[in-house]
Chains A and B, each alone.
Chain A
């Protein structure tokens, strides 16, 4: 998904779930910040490197796809953008294929519940991060957050479904590889990543082979996913994005009120008065729906939504004292990111896969590994001590 949904639509969902304007902005900002928090940004403010929630194109070009690089890529992309649906999925295949197959993202998985629960009782930044992950499960379903030709590849069987009368007209999609180009939605020419027959090539990460199509709310298309055994998949983005929006409202209400979060529940009641408007925004053929979502959000809250400024909180974090950094806006975000990455990577490790690296039981072996996670361990110990005292 793009800024139009992660920032503006999340703001709208937060408002509809009962959060006041300022808190909705915090949640929305954090949701969008997941797409910007790269190692490059973190190195500017001397933030914890492992809190990276994305990798820039430049960073991906520099990464070596050896085992270390691949694990790093998988930890980031599976944790924040392609949440695995079923880490215990069975597939008649070798272990290597099965491990990658299990990373395929889809909606309403157990990890989604874990993600929302992880944000419970935590900061608004954690809630925003969870909403980003939730929304991306809808947009990025059927792709995996690890470089894999056999999972993420696409073929030239790719058709856009254009509404015509009561049904749809099929138009073949033409993909071109041009890193500097833009999508031509009028003629059905889209940019995608280059075909590389190497299994672990960066070009085979996520939905690169399908270009930006999953991120356009108006797109309906059908294709053959590489893992699908020649079964056709019809991706209806307007419907998926609508479900994502309703599920975000339900999730945020659950976090705000303390009610249980369950899978496959969508708060359609809350959006009923605005259903037509939302559908109009989602179905409008445009590469960027920021203006429409922003107008909707401002109508909902009656307040102005500032444009997203990626540098808004950088100075606060950079200038804060070392022992006060965690209390800054970004400090809370980084803690949430570390927790999410740790949780998802642990689940992947426990499923028997090393695609996201090793996870260690801190209680048994003590602290080992990447130092950025030490602060997470310390906070957990602090929490355990307080619970014991209480």
Chain B
């Protein structure tokens, strides 16, 4: 890892931790914050895919599909950002859907890992099932009108965890020796 990459990882990790803490401390604004982050993430994913298409995938047989995936992700991100002014109930349903989607993806990936016999499948499965269970519980709370600021706490905790992992990975060594 180059020095710049390490610094980048550390800064990103710190930013995630700070945002996670802010969401914890100000749960009332947490919803908007979370929607903005999700929207920005999806928009950036779309942009990243478009850049990937221009720099790499356009050379690949069948690479044009990346262009479409990038456009759809970009559009989805922008739609997410435009929902920021919507009623809280709307945003909570949207967040619920996002957690359910990622939970399902984690469960499917964990199943794949389990079939191959990888040890990591348990952790992935736990994460996926937790996401799905939380989405379901939160849905229940939405229906009975007592969701409160549970999403703020959950989302903040997720950001804290991601930030810590980033900083840890920034300190891993990477170099080899050759003989001359």
A70 to nearest B CB, angstroms?
10
Binds B, one of A105-113, A139-147, A310-318, A360-368: A360-368
Kindly identify which residue among A96, A230, A359, A368 contacts B61, using a CB–CB cutoff of 8 Å. Answer: A230
Q: Count the B residues whose beta carbon is within 8 Å of the partner chain — how many? A: 33
Task: Enumerate chain A residues within 8 angstroms of B63, measured Cβ to Cβ.
Answer: 150, 226
On whether the beta carbons of B56 and A358 are closer than 8 Å, the reply is no
Task: Enumerate chain B residues within 8 angstroms of A66, measured Cβ to Cβ.
Answer: 169
Tell me the A53-71 residues at the B interface (CB within 8 Å): 57-58, 61-62, 64, 66-68, 71
What is the CA–CA distance of A180 and B178 in the complex, to the nearest angstrom? 39
B90 to nearest A CB, angstroms?
30
What is the CA–CA distance of A158 and B169 in the complex, to the nearest angstrom? 40
What is the CA–CA distance of A94 and B120 in the complex, to the nearest angstrom? 35
Q: At the interface, yes or no: A373 with Cβ under 8 Å from chain B?
A: yes
Kindly identify which residue among B56, B65, B180 contacts A150, using a CB–CB cutoff of 8 Å. Answer: B56
Q: At the interface, yes or no: B28 with Cβ under 8 Å from chain A?
A: no
- Interface mask (A338-372 → B, CB under 8 Å = 1, otherwise 0): 00011101100100001011111111000111100
On whether the beta carbons of B178 and A149 are closer than 8 Å, the reply is no
What is the CA–CA distance of A342 and B168 in the complex, to the nearest angstrom? 27
Q: At the interface, yes or no: B144 with Cβ under 8 Å from chain A?
A: no
On whether the beta carbons of A94 and B119 are closer than 8 Å, the reply is no
B107 to nearest A CB, angstroms?
15
What is the CA–CA distance of A61 and B5 in the complex, to the nearest angstrom? 24
What is the CA–CA distance of A71 and B175 in the complex, to the nearest angstrom? 9
On whether the beta carbons of A358 and B117 are closer than 8 Å, the reply is no
What is the CA–CA distance of A43 and B135 in the complex, to the nearest angstrom? 41
With A150-B63, A224-B61, A225-B61 known as contacts, the answer to whether A67 contacts B1 (CB < 8 A) is: yes
In the complex, the chain B residue whose C-beta lies closest to that of A346 is: B178
Task: Enumerate chain A residues within 8 angstroms of B143, measured Cβ to Cβ.
Answer: none
Q: At the interface, yes or no: B59 with Cβ under 8 Å from chain A?
A: yes
In the complex, the chain A residue whose C-beta lies closest to that of B124 is: A61
On whether the beta carbons of B61 and A153 are closer than 8 Å, the reply is yes
- Interface mask (B76-119 → A, CB under 8 Å = 1, otherwise 0): 00000000000000000000000000000000000011011111
What is the CA–CA distance of A230 and B178 in the complex, to the nearest angstrom? 38
Task: Enumerate chain B residues within 8 angstroms of A149, measured Cβ to Cβ.
Answer: 57, 60
Kindly identify which residue among A75, A179, A354, A368 contacts B116, using a CB–CB cutoff of 8 Å. Answer: A179
B52 to nearest A CB, angstroms?
7
Tell me the B36-75 residues at the A interface (CB within 8 Å): 52, 55-57, 59-63, 65-66, 69
Q: At the interface, yes or no: A285 with Cβ under 8 Å from chain B?
A: no
Task: Enumerate chain B residues within 8 angstroms of A197, measured Cβ to Cβ.
Answer: 65-66, 69
Task: Enumerate chain B residues within 8 angstroms of A96, measured Cβ to Cβ.
Answer: 55-56
Task: Enumerate chain A residues within 8 angstroms of B179, measured Cβ to Cβ.
Answer: 342, 362, 376-377, 380
Task: Enumerate chain A residues within 8 angstroms of B178, measured Cβ to Cβ.
Answer: 342-343, 345-346, 349, 359-362, 373
What is the CA–CA distance of A229 and B61 in the complex, to the nearest angstrom? 6
- Chain A positions near chain B (C-beta within 8 angstroms): 50, 57-58, 61-62, 64, 66-68, 71, 75, 91, 93-94, 96-97, 149-150, 153, 155, 179-180, 194, 197, 199, 224-230, 341-343, 345-346, 349, 354, 356-363, 367-370, 373-374, 376-377, 380
7 CB contacts below 8 A, A to B, read A67-B5, A94-B55, A94-B56, A155-B62, A179-B115, A369-B176, A376-B177
- Chain B positions near chain A (C-beta within 8 angstroms): 1-2, 5, 52, 55-57, 59-63, 65-66, 69, 112-113, 115-120, 169, 172-180
